[in-house]
Structure 1
Amino acid sequence: MVYETPESDREKAINEWLPITSNRDAKWWYFAFHNVTAMVRAGVLSLPYAMAHLGWGPGVTIMILSWLVTLYTLWQMVEMDEMIPGERFDRYHELGQYAFGEKLGLSIIVPQQLTMDVSSDIVYMVMGGQSLKKFHDLGVQPDVDYSYKAASTSGKVFGFFVGLGEIAFAYASHHVVLEIQATMPSTPEIPSKGPMWKGAIVAYIIMAICYLPVAYRILEIQKLRQRQHPLNIRETHLAYCYSKHLPCIVWLIKCKPKRFSLTWFINWICIILGVLPMVLSPTGGLSSIIVSAKYYRFFS
């Protein structure tokens, strides 16, 4: 029998009151629905522009690679939800506190979640306005150009960095995974990770179906050479809130895979692939701001 401390009684009372943990009766399709709605959002509108910067080959490769990396790191989060027998990490910051310590875990996870939510709201407004304007200005263009948008080498490089940020932003749902999993029942015989993983597979298949046609079809009907990046909010905020590599870091710290094993290599590769967009994308966004600053017309 586990001895219930006053603190654990308090936490139990809080969890029984909070909506996400008061009734743990969610099914796998609940997660599939919530994950799709968390991911297929404003980021999908920026995929055509990302493809214009990256080109067909690199663009398709990066989209598929991002799909695989985010699916793998999501699996890690699902697995780590019940990595301590008899306990569950119902919120992302609880997992962070377990991995990095009580204070450091909060300072790492919570600001990123808040920044992600606030930045997403800003991006919805910016991308919504841009998209409405595009629909207003276009018809079908007879002279579609499939070449890179930039003419100079430096422009192509920085544009490539911007494209990385566009795709990275499109794959964003990890900050709510554990909160969704908290709504599911779990027993030692039937842990919650089973239905969660089933829902994740369905969600990612739906997401791929939504993303790929949008990134190819809109590119065919838009002439992109005159497009400007008003503030590059997506790229600049990624330096702080792009956290796809955090589950890999926690996995290495707490699961301790054997050094130089396949799992060890996969996690380090995912960490590197997560850090690269975090560094390169804001660089490309800053370059774009500098180049196109003379065209800015605030509140116009």
Structure 2
Amino acid sequence: MVEMHEMVEGKRFDRYHELAQEAFGERLGLWIVVPQQLIVEVGVDIVYMVTGGKSLKRFYELVSCAPDATGCKHIRQSYWILVFASIHFVLAQLPNFNSISGISLSAAVMSLSYSTIAWTTAIPNAGGPDVSYSYPHSPSAANTVFKVFNALGMIAFAYAGHNVVLEIQATIPSSPSKPSKGPMWKGVVVAYMVVAICYFPVALIGYWAFGNDTSYDNILQHIGTPHWLIAAANLMLVVHVIGSYQIYAMPVFDMLETLLVKKLHLPPGVCLRLIARTVYVAFTAFVAITIPFFGNLLGFFGGFALAPTTYFLPCIIWLAVYKPKRFSFSWLANWISIVLGVLLMIAATIGGFRNLVMDASTYKFYQ
């Protein structure tokens, strides 16, 4: 997608749907990409709402309910999601990607910081007498398969930055002598290096320390000591998802305001921005409070929404635009990615949806 941003001389594709329109035609390209991209961005923001609320709740419990603390009072997770949402009612009024660059940088630094705290504090717990590395008992083989499917969706969710890459690349100056793909490629490489540095130590050391008892969606919910350090890590996680929420929300704000101006002929300006963006934040908060199943939301949205737009739709566009020679390396690599991406989408969606249904069957909504 970085390479395709300026594949037509003198033109930049600043939005995902513009790239699809070049490949599939004005109308079809719009209908292929926009619904999927909206599902991705809204779904990710819902997940971040749940994450932010859970982390704020955990921070409060570690600070107020520590062994030497007094006056601990239980506050429901729904209220913490509302607290997290209130931050975004304010930040959502920032006009564009450039205005949130500082927030985005803070989010990246916090991601590296809290993940480092997670794996370093897990090391002292390694090798305990109760740690087991055997596969946890499952009621049936079908249940095991569905868990694997859901895990694939969670992995897909973790590596799904493609959905906003064109919007980010659009903010980089470009000229024939210095095209934007140069610095963007460097940014992408650095970004995935940071992702690897964050995720792999947490996964490997977390499993070494806790075995099959590891918290599968957020290891910080599993580690309790030292209280002050884990509390700080949860607060860092909150800062991280604040920035991430805004990154995925900005394209939605752009599409929403464009639709209201062009179709409903509403006047653009501060009033339109205030109402439209406030309604969007309120909607994501409402859904997050209604279905706060963090781990299974990751799996479901990872398969249903992120897999198509991240793992095989860019490959289809590449084949449609560049038309590489049949059975060449480029042709084979893209077709392999398409087949694997489709299988991932089907498996992860089934696994995530099944687990959501299982959670909902025992959950008391708004309690």
- Relative to the length of structure 1, the TM-score reads 0.66
Give matches, 1:76-225, under 5 Å.
Answer: 77-130=1-54, 143-151=130-138, 152-219=140-207, 220-221=209-210, 224=213
Residue 240 of structure 2 corresponds to residue 240 of structure 1: no
Query: How far, CA to CA, are the matches of 1:132 and 1:148 in structure 2?
Result: 32
Task: Say if 2:149 and 2:347, in contact at 8 Å, map to a contact too.
Answer: yes
Give 3-state SS (helix, strand or coil) of 1:154's partner.
helix
Once the 2 structures are TM-superposed, how far is the Cα of residue 297 of structure 1 from its aligned partner? 2.6
- Relative to the length of structure 2, the TM-score reads 0.54
For residues 230-267 of structure 1, the C-alpha deviation after alignment (integer angstroms, 9 at most, x for no partner) is 37222333313431111100000010010011111100
Query: How far, CA to CA, are the matches of 1:133 and 1:222 in structure 2?
Result: 25
Counterpart residue type for residue 230 of structure 1: F
Structure 1 293/262 Cα, relative in aligned 2: closer, same or farther at 3 Å?
Answer: same
Give 3-state SS (helix, strand or coil) of 1:88's partner.
coil
Gaps of 5+ in 2: 63-121, 218-291
Query: How far, CA to CA, are the matches of 2:11 and 2:48 in structure 1?
Result: 36
Give matches, 1:248-287, under 5 Å.
Answer: 248-287=315-354
Task: Say if 2:157 and 2:306, in contact at 8 Å, map to a contact too.
Answer: no
Once the 2 structures are TM-superposed, how far is the Cα of residue 171 of structure 1 from its aligned partner? 0.9
Counterpart residue type for residue 196 of structure 2: A
Query: How far, CA to CA, are the matches of 1:145 and 1:79 in structure 2?
Result: 46
Query: How far, CA to CA, are the matches of 1:224 and 1:191 in structure 2?
Result: 49
Counterpart residue type for residue 319 of structure 2: L
The root-mean-square deviation of aligned C-alpha atoms, in Å, is 3.0
Gaps of 5+ in 1: 1-76
Query: How far, CA to CA, are the matches of 2:155 and 2:361 in structure 1?
Result: 27
Q: How many residue pairs are counted as aligned between the two chains?
A: 224
Once the 2 structures are TM-superposed, how far is the Cα of residue 109 of structure 1 from its aligned partner? 1.6
Query: How far, CA to CA, are the matches of 1:101 and 1:213 in structure 2?
Result: 44
266-275 vs 110-119, which deviates more? 110-119
Counterpart residue type for residue 194 of structure 2: I
Task: Say if 1:150 and 1:159, in contact at 8 Å, map to a contact too.
Answer: no
Once the 2 structures are TM-superposed, how far is the Cα of residue 150 of structure 1 from its aligned partner? 4.6
Task: Say if 2:37 and 2:163, in contact at 8 Å, map to a contact too.
Answer: yes
Give 3-state SS (helix, strand or coil) of 1:236's partner.
helix
Query: How far, CA to CA, are the matches of 2:33 and 2:15 in structure 1?
Result: 10
Once the 2 structures are TM-superposed, how far is the Cα of residue 142 of structure 1 from its aligned partner? 5.1
Counterpart residue type for residue 191 of structure 1: P
Task: Say if 1:149 and 1:156, in contact at 8 Å, map to a contact too.
Answer: no
For residues 14-70 of structure 1, the C-alpha deviation after alignment (integer angstroms, 9 at most, x for no partner) is xxxxxxxxxxxxxxxxxxxxxxxxxxxxxxxxxxxxxxxxxxxxxxxxxxxxxxxxx
Task: Say if 2:297 and 2:356, in contact at 8 Å, map to a contact too.
Answer: no
Q: Alignment identity in percent?
A: 53
Give 3-state SS (helix, strand or coil) of 1:203's partner.
helix
Structure 1 223/295 Cα, relative in aligned 2: closer, same or farther at 3 Å?
Answer: farther
Query: How far, CA to CA, are the matches of 1:234 and 1:160 in structure 2?
Result: 13
Query: How far, CA to CA, are the matches of 1:261 and 1:95 in structure 2?
Result: 23
Structure 1 206/240 Cα, relative in aligned 2: closer, same or farther at 3 Å?
Answer: closer
Partner of 2:97: none
